[in-house]
A and B are shown apart, each in its own frame.
Chain A
Amino acid sequence: NAGVMQNPRHLVRRRGQEARLRCSPMKGHSHVYWYRQLPEEGLKFMVYLQKENIIDESGMPKERFSAEFPKEGPSILRIQQVVRGDSAAYFCASSDMPGNTEAFFGQGTRLTVV
């Protein structure tokens, strides 16, 4: 049973470009969470999605960031017009039901904006 799969592992973008980060949850998991870890900081919740629905996006920046979890395929975190401050590790986690408090994390995508 493969764990949470994120790709790419490393992503370099120039300022102003778009970044697309993908996350495939563990098999059987329909709840996906995205977190961001800035250098020397703790992980910060960004968004919680179920299939085709955004449940909680209270941690998402108001502009340039969006997330989706389509019926088929991975969850996508999209960052438009990236800036240097977007450089961070972006982790995806999944769980099998909202009542289960354990979430399993992917290996993360390290975004570097140059």
Chain B
Amino acid sequence: RKEVEQDPGPFNVPEGATVAFNCTYSNSASQSFFWYRQDCRKEPKLLMSVYSSGNEDGRFTAQLNRASQYISLLIRDSKLSDSATYLCVVNPTGTASKLTFGTGTRLQVTL
């Protein structure tokens, strides 16, 4: 079983749609959780951290369910510029070292 599993997609959605990505992780002792965004042939960039209480940043909402070892990302009112690969990232150690990346979910937003 992979340490972090994501549906690779692609998710093709029209502009304005709401789309949700899910991710599961295997290490129940993992300390912190993130969503990163990676554009084609570019570096990953932090989108948002994920907390048990859930957190929202504009059109983006992230949720963590520790009991089910499950993380989600919801994007509302999708924009063309949201087209990218979204990486679920788990940090098992509580420090910045050894981030464990999922393979990513590809999103394509169309007109």
Q: Is the CB of B43 within 8 A of A99?
A: no
Chain B nearest Cβ from A72, distance in angstroms? 23
Say which size band chain A's interface belongs to: 20 to 34
Query: Considering only CB atoms and an 8 Å cut-off, how many residues of chain B contact the other chain?
Result: 24
Which residues 11-50 of A sit at the B interface, judged by CB distance below 8 A? 31, 33, 35, 40-45, 48
CB nearest neighbor in B for A94: B96
A91-B44, A107-B42, A107-B43 known; A44 vs B101 contact (CB < 8 Å): yes
Q: Which A residues are CB-close (under 8 A) to B73? A: none
B96 touching A95, Cβ below 8 Å? yes
- A45 close to B99 (CB less than 8 A): yes
Q: Is there contact, CB below 8 Å, between B103 and A41?
A: yes
Q: Are B100 and A45 in contact (CB under 8 A)?
A: yes
Contact indicator B99/A103 (Cβ below 8 Å):
yes
Binding site for B on A (CB under 8 A): 31, 33, 35, 40-45, 48, 55-56, 58-59, 89, 91, 93, 95, 98-103, 105-108, 110
